[in-house]
Chain A
Amino acid sequence: MAGASKAVADSRANLPFVYRQYSAEQLRNVLYKMYLIRRFEEGAEECYTRGLIHGTMHLSIGQEASAMGICMPLAEDDQITSTHRGHGHCIAKGAEVKRMFAEFFGKTTGYCKGRGGSMHIADVGKGNLGANGIVGGGIPIAVGAALSAKMMKTGKVVVSFFGDGANNEGAFHEALNMASVWKLPVIFVCENNGYGMSTSTARSTAVKNIAERAAAYSMPGVIVNGNIFSEVAEASYKAVERARAGEGPTLIESKTYRHRGHSKSDRNRYRSKEEIEDWMSNRDPITLFESELREFGFIDDKGIEAIRGAVAQEIADGIEFAKASPSPDVRDTGNYVYTEQA
C-alpha cells in the first residue's frame, strides 16, 4: 500500500516508518479514524449516561493508535477477531459508526440486528469476525480462520486482538502453539493496557513483558509503544509480510492504556489519579500522532479543524440514525438461533 511517490519518499527518508510508507492522504485519514474512534466512544458513553443505551460497555479511549496501527497494513478481506473492548478495532477495520450506534441502541439496522450489542459488535463484510465477551475466546477462532486461509489458499491473514488478561488463559497458549506448529498466517496482538479489570499485569503475570511468551512458541515477540501509531503500524506491517509469506505467526505486545475504567461498574480504586492523568496528558495517542503530522508538514491547523468537524458530524449523524431506526419485533426472539431453512 505504498502511497508515497519516489521524490516524496526521498524527502521523508529520515522520518518514522508510516511517513515513508503511506501517502499524506492516507495518514490524514488515519487521524480522522483515530478521532472517529475517540468521539464514537465518547458518544456511546454519553448515550449510555442518558439512558439511550443499556447494559454495559468497555471503552477503548486511549488505545486508538493500537487499533489503527495494527489494521493499517491489512487488506479489506483480511480478518480480525476482537475483544470486549472492541469498538476501536471495528472502526479501524472499516465499520460504519452509524450501524455500530444502531447496534448499541439495539436496533434492527445494527450490525447484529440488535442481538449482539457492544460486546459482540462485528462487521463480517469488512473482515471483523466479531468482538467477544469471553476473555481469550477469539484467539483459537482466529487461528481457525487462519487455517481456512491456508487450506483455501486465499492469501488472507488474520489478526487476533486480545488484552493482557487473556495471556493467562489456556486458550492463548493452546492457540499460539498450534499456530506456530502449522505456520499459520495469524498475528497475535496483545493490547496490554496494564490491567485485567482491576488486576495489574505485575500481580497476574509471571513474565515482565507478555511478548516474552512468544519464545515458548517459537515465534517472534515484538514490543511496541502502543500509543505511537507509527511504531504499531511498522510492527504490524512486518508481521503481515511474514504471515503472508507463509513464515507463520508473530506476537505483538502493544503497550497502551485505557483512560476510562474497565466497564461502567468501575470505581477506579486500583490505580491512581496521577497515573491516569500522566497517560492522558503526556501520552495520548491522538495528540502524539497529530503533533507528528503537523511537525512533518502533513497537516496544518485548518486541516485538523476540518477533520474534527467532519468527525463530529459523522458521530451526530450516526446517533440520529440509531435513534430513528426501528427496534426488533419481540415476536422475532427466535431468529438467528439456527439457520433458517428454505
Chain B
Amino acid sequence: MDAMVRELSYAQAIQEAMAIAMDMDECVFLMGEDIGVYGGAFQVTGDLVDRFGSERVIDTPISELGGAGMAVGAALTGMRPIFEFQFSDFATLAMEQIVNQAAKMRFMLGGEVSVPVVMRFPAGSGTGAAAQHSQSLEAWLGHVPGLKVIQPATPYDAKGMLLAAVADPDPVMIFEHKLLYKMKGPVPEGYYTVPIGKADIRREGRDLTIVATSIMVHKALDAAAALEAEGIDIEVIDLRTIRPMDKQTVIDSVKKTSRLMCVYEAVKTLGIGAEVSAMIAESEAFDYLDAPIVRLGGAETPIPYNPELEKAVVPQVPDIIAAARDLVKGVR
C-alpha cells in the first residue's frame, strides 16, 4: 500500500514522527522547556500537549542538566524519552549527562543496560540570535563513542530518522538546523524509518564530490545546479549521520569523481570536514584524488549578530560555487 504523500514542513514532519511514536508506544514521552502549551520555541511540539496530555508532554524547569539526567534515568529504566533542548547551545549545560552518563552507561555496566534516549538539538545560525543561540556543536558529540549523532536535511529524513532514533536502543542525538524548520518537502503518512548510519547521494555527478551536512546539503545542491551551466558535474552526498559515519558511500564517490570538498556550517577547524578528509586520505580513494581536498566551514569566530556578518561567517552558495569551480578547474 502506498502511503499518501503530502508536503510538510521539516518541523511538521518531526511533530508527526513524535505523535506516531507516542501512539505506537506508551513508553515514549517528550520532555523539554516550554514544549507544552507554548508548543516549543520553534513550534516543533506544537499542539501535541492537547493530544497526549501534560504527563507525556512534560514542561521542565529551566534545568538542562537535571532534565537531561532525568531523561537518561528514565531511558535506563524502561521509558523512551525524547528530550528537546530549546537551543543546541544550551546542551553545554548538560554535557555531563550526555557525555559521561548517557554515552557510557551501557559500556561501563558491561552491556547490562541500554539508554534509548533521543535528544533533539535546534542548531545553527541565520536567525539573528547571536553567539549563544546559533552554534553548530554536533562534532562535539560526534567525538563521543556510545552516542549516535544525526543531522537530517529534509522533512522526509527528519521524520524517518526520528522514528529510527526512537526505535534505536542507544542514545541518538538529532541536530536540526533551525532554518530548515519551515522548509517543505514530500512526507509520506504513517510509519517509516530512514536508517541511521547511511548517507544519501542527493545528486549524482562525475567531476567533484561534495560531502555536506544539514542545511549545507541544500546550498551545495544550489551550487551544483548553477555550475551545471558551466559544464561542471557535481555529486552531492548528504552525510545524514556523523556517528557512525557511512564511509563507503563517500569512498566510492571520491573514487568516481577524484575530487572532494566538504561543506558544513560548524567551525571549520577540528570538524566534520577534517574527519571526512582524513578518512579519505586513509582509504583506497586517496590514490584516486586529482586535487587537494577542500573544506568549507564556519569561520573561526563566534556567530555575530549583524545580519551581514552572520551570513559572512558560514559558507553560502556563492562560496561553494567559487570553491567548486576552482577545484574542478585546477586553480587550487
B112 CB contact (under 8 Å) in A122, A139, A149, A171: A122
Cβ–Cβ < 8 Å partners of B100 in chain A = 133-134, 137
- State how many angstroms separate the Cβ of B16 from the closest Cβ of chain A: 23
Is A114 positioned at the interface, with any CB of B under 8 Å from its CB? yes
Cβ–Cβ < 8 Å partners of A335 in chain B = 111
Please tell me if the beta carbons of A148 and B170 are within 8 angstroms of each other in the complex: no
Known: A151-B55, A174-B65, A336-B110. A129 touches B76 (CB 8 A): yes
Is B70 positioned at the interface, with any CB of A under 8 Å from its CB? yes
User: How far is B114's CA from A339's CA once the two chains are assembled, in angstroms?
Assistant: 7
Cβ–Cβ < 8 Å partners of B145 in chain A = 337
Interface residue tally on A, bucketed by range: 35 or more
Please tell me if the beta carbons of A112 and B110 are within 8 angstroms of each other in the complex: yes
Please tell me if the beta carbons of A178 and B170 are within 8 angstroms of each other in the complex: no
Please tell me if the beta carbons of B110 and A113 are within 8 angstroms of each other in the complex: yes
- State how many angstroms separate the Cβ of B147 from the closest Cβ of chain A: 9
Is A57 positioned at the interface, with any CB of B under 8 Å from its CB? no
Residues of chain B from 59 to 94 with CB closer than 8 A to chain A in the complex: 60-61, 63, 65-79, 81
Cβ-closest chain B residue relative to A120: B108
Cβ–Cβ < 8 Å partners of A122 in chain B = 108-109, 112
Is B140 positioned at the interface, with any CB of A under 8 Å from its CB? no
B77 CB contact (under 8 Å) in A114, A115, A145: A145
Is A221 positioned at the interface, with any CB of B under 8 Å from its CB? no
Cβ–Cβ < 8 Å partners of A137 in chain B = 69, 96-97, 100-101
Is A243 positioned at the interface, with any CB of B under 8 Å from its CB? no
Please tell me if the beta carbons of B146 and A140 are within 8 angstroms of each other in the complex: no
A143 CB contact (under 8 Å) in B66, B96, B146: B66
B107 CB contact (under 8 Å) in A141, A171, A337: A337
Known: A134-B96, A174-B63. A140 touches B105 (CB 8 A): no
Is B185 positioned at the interface, with any CB of A under 8 Å from its CB? no
Is A318 positioned at the interface, with any CB of B under 8 Å from its CB? no
Cβ-closest chain A residue relative to B113: A124
Cβ–Cβ < 8 Å partners of A340 in chain B = 111
Please tell me if the beta carbons of B111 and A144 are within 8 angstroms of each other in the complex: no
Cβ–Cβ < 8 Å partners of A228 in chain B = none
Instruction: Mark interface residues in A27-55 (1 if CB within 8 Å of B CB, else 0).
Output: 00000000000000000000000000000
User: How far is B79's CA from A73's CA once the two chains are assembled, in angstroms?
Assistant: 26
Is A177 positioned at the interface, with any CB of B under 8 Å from its CB? yes
Please tell me if the beta carbons of B72 and A148 are within 8 angstroms of each other in the complex: no
Please tell me if the beta carbons of B79 and A339 are within 8 angstroms of each other in the complex: no
- State how many angstroms separate the Cβ of B62 from the closest Cβ of chain A: 9
B74 CB contact (under 8 Å) in A81, A145, A173: A145
> Known contacts A139-B69, A143-B73, A144-B73; can you find 17 more A-B pairs with CB under 8 A?
A111-B109, A112-B110, A115-B108, A115-B110, A124-B113, A134-B96, A137-B69, A143-B69, A143-B70, A147-B73, A148-B77, A151-B55, A171-B69, A174-B65, A337-B107, A338-B106, A340-B111
Instruction: Using CB atoms and an 8 Å cutoff, list the residues of chain A in contact with chain B.
Output: 79, 81, 110-116, 120, 122, 124, 129-130, 132-134, 137, 139-149, 151-152, 170-171, 173-175, 177-178, 181, 335-340
List 14 A-B residue pairs with CB atoms under 8 Å apart, sorted by A's residue number: A124-B113, A129-B113, A141-B76, A144-B70, A144-B72, A144-B81, A147-B79, A148-B74, A171-B69, A174-B63, A174-B69, A177-B61, A337-B107, A339-B169
Instruction: Using CB atoms and an 8 Å cutoff, list the residues of chain B in contact with chain A.
Output: 27, 29, 55, 60-61, 63, 65-79, 81, 96-97, 100-101, 105-114, 145-146, 148, 169-170
